[in-house]
């Protein structure tokens, strides 16, 4: 006789539908308790990049493990060379096996004076339009999003005593600081994470009423370039004209990276770019993206990227090169008349399918070296890289998830891309051959990484309900 957990993976349409309604009702009735747990989680200042918060990162991991144990998972906190990972499993003898990924670490809160309240004292704030905002650091990125899935599992456990499908969970504590311990951890524990598909919830709705599945993430290459000319800072009166100025050299090198029409001007940069398939292009056309509004929201009026492509193509499916910071010389109050000896720039490339970060890094460094003038040297420091990832639009798991989202949101979901990077998606594809379903319920105005970060209470509630439906739909088989 099958166990209680296994029974709900059986294909019994009408009983399953009635059961699903009971689980959804349970989530609705207990939304205040779910919110209380979210507030507990948000009060833990788990800032991963600051060593002062190392104990709090450990506390956040322990909090998650305890909550998962409370709903029947075999959960453990695994130590790494950095902040710990939380792994949890609840397996059935039949049906597919899903892995849910999230991160419990958060960004620093600076500038603190821009917050309207303590960033780690979560607040509920009513809005004139009737919305309620949950305001705290991590409310949306990623604690609120992460907890929607746990609370969905809790509702299933409360009603049925188990889950409708095999579930593992994988929560890291270094996503916001580049996941420096992840490669080593996956070398040790990667096989334990094998599953049929990975779910994650660190993405966005298309708009307030339309859910989305993000099927493209650009990869990332980060470089620091330091130009040195003279062996010390020089008096600009004594050496002006005669000495190379590294700031000017750096500025000219930066200018050489882009052509007049906005394309990246590094030889071979586009050689390996893979164009999206026609099915995905067709899905993107359905979005009716308003490029003018997108630019106006940032106080801009025209695109500066490759003019051969639309704005949406520029930010989702084309690679980019951006200057993230420049430093050199004196920039305090007043004027110090020197020619500095060094200048530094931080430069990042967003990469697309087909591009190899190591190959692009070699091209970039050769481009710079070939243009270095006399009396100047260059030092490169690699700051990390990851490949792009594309999720097959014909995935059976994607079809099932979209059907569940339609039932909850009463509209078709859309497939979108992301100009940003979630390295774990490409890592799991390349290491374990696991495709992902990134389904997020954040809104574009949630102020990720900024003061007064928020998560809409409706997003939190609808996220829980959506995952309940997705779990039921995915339990139908491979």
Per-residue pLDDT of the chain (478 residues; tens, 9 = 90+): 334 343 333 344 566 888 999 999 999 999 999 999 999 999 999 999 999 999 999 999 999 999 999 999 999 999 999 999 999 999 998 889 999 999 999 999 999 999 999 999 999 999 999 999 999 999 999 999 999 999 999 999 999 999 999 999 999 999 998 788 998 999 999 899 999 999 999 899 999 999 999 999 999 999 999 999 999 999 999 999 999 999 999 999 999 999 988 999 999 999 999 988 888 888 888 898 999 998 998 899 999 999 899 999 999 999 999 999 999 998 888 889 999 999 999 999 999 999 999 999 999 999 999 999 999 999 999 988 889 988 888 889 999 999 999 999 999 999 999 888 888 888 898 889 999 999 999 998 999 889 999 999 999 999 999 999 999 999 975 4
pLDDT given for residue 276 in this prediction: 85
Q: What is the Cβ-side half-sphere exposure of residue 476, based on CA atoms within 13 angstroms? A: 16
Q: Is the peptide bond before 142 cis (omega within 30 degrees of 0)?
A: yes
Q: Please report how the helices 143-160 and 457-474 are oriented relative to each other, as an axis angle in degrees rounded to 10.
A: 50
CA distances from 466 to 199, 422, 441 (A): 13, 22, 9
pLDDT given for residue 14 in this prediction: 65
As a whole number of angstroms, the distance between CA 352 and CA 350 comes to: 7
Cα torsion 164, 168, 174, 175 to 10°: value is -50
**Polymer length in residues for the chain:** 478
Q: Please report how the helices 182-189 and 423-432 are oriented relative to each other, as an axis angle in degrees rounded to 10.
A: 30
Outline where 227-309 has alpha helix (H): 236-239, 246-255, 278-285, 291-296
Show the domains of the chain with their CATH numbers: 4-217+388-474 (3.40.630.10), 219-273+319-386 (3.30.70.360)
Outline where 303-384 has alpha helix (H): 311-316, 357-369
Kindly state the tokens that stand for 142: 């990623």
pLDDT given for residue 7 in this prediction: 39
pLDDT given for residue 478 in this prediction: 47
Strand boundaries in 275-373, DSSP class E = 320-328, 338-339, 342-351
Q: Is 287 exposed, middle or buried (0-12, 13-18, 19+ CB in 10 A)?
A: middle
Cα torsion 171, 421, 440, 36 to 10°: value is 40
Instruction: Work out the number of other CB atoms within 10 angstroms of the CB of residue 70.
Output: 13
Q: Contact at 8 Å (CB) between 223 and 345?
A: no
pLDDT given for residue 66 in this prediction: 98
Q: Please report how the helices 54-70 and 143-160 are oriented relative to each other, as an axis angle in degrees rounded to 10.
A: 20
pLDDT given for residue 15 in this prediction: 67
Q: Contact at 8 Å (CB) between 390 and 216?
A: yes
Tokens 């270095």 -> residue:
372
pLDDT given for residue 423 in this prediction: 80
pLDDT given for residue 98 in this prediction: 97
pLDDT given for residue 8 in this prediction: 38
Q: Please report how the helices 31-42 and 13-29 are oriented relative to each other, as an axis angle in degrees rounded to 10.
A: 60
Kindly state the tokens that stand for 350: 């967003």
């Amino acid at each position: 006789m099958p166990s209680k957990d296994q029974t709900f993976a059986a294909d019994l349409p009408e009983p399953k539908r009635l059961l699903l309604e009971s689980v959804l009702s349970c989530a609705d009735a207990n939304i205040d308790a779910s919110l209380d747990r979210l507030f507990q989680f948000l009060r833990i200042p788990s800032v991963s990049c600051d060593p002062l918060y190392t104990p709090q990162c450990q506390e956040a991991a322990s909090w998650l493990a305890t909550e998962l144990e409370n709903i029947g998972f075999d959960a453990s906190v695994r130590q790494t060379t950095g902040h710990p990972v939380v792994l949890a499993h609840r397996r059935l003898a039949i049906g597919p096996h899903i892995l849910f990924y999230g991160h419990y670490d958060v960004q620093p809160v600076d500038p603190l004076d821009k917050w309207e309240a303590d960033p780690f004292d979560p607040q509920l704030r009513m809005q004139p339009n009737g919305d309620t905002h949950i305001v705290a650091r991590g409310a949306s990125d990623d604690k609120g999003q992460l907890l929607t899935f746990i609370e969905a599992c809790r509702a299933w456990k409360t009603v049925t005593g188990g889950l409708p499908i095999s579930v593992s969970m994988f929560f890291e504590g270094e996503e916001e600081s580049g996941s420096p311990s992840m490669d080593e951890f996956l070398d040790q524990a990667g096989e334990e994470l094998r599953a049929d598909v990975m779910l994650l919830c660190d993405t966005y709705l298309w708009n307030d009423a339309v859910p989305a599945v993000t099927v493209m993430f650009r990869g990332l290459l980060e470089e620091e370039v330091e130009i040195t000319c003279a062996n010390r800072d020089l008096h600009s009166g004594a050496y002006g004209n005669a000495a190379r100025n590294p700031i000017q050299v750096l500025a000219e090198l930066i200018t050489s990276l882009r052509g007049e029409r906005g394309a990246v001007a590094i030889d071979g940069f586009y050689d390996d770019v893979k164009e999206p398939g026609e099915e995905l292009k067709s899905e993107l056309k359905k979005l009716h993206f308003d490029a003018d509004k997108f630019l106006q929201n940032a106080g801009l009026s025209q695109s500066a990227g490759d003019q051969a492509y639309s704005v949406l193509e520029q930010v989702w499916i084309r690679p980019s090169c951006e200057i993230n910071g420049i430093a050199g010389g004196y920039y305090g109050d007043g004027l110090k008349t020197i020619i500095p000896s060094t200048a530094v720039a931080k430069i990042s490339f967003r990469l697309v399918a087909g591009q190899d970060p190591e190959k692009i890094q070699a091209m970039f460094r050769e481009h710079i070296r070939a243009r270095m003038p006399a009396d100047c040297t260059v030092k490169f420091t690699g700051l990390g890289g990851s490949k792009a990832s594309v999720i097959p639009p014909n995935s059976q798991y994607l079809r099932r998830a979209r059907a569940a989202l339609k039932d909850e949101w009463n509209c078709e979901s859309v497939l979108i891309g992301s100009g940003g990077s979630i390295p774990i998606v490409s890592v799991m594809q390349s290491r374990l051959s696991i495709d992902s379903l990134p389904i997020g319920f954040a809104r574009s105005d949630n102020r990720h990484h900024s003061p007064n970060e928020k998560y809409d209470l409706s997003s939190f509630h609808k996220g829980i309900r959506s995952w309940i439906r997705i779990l039921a739909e995915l339990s139908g088989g491979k």
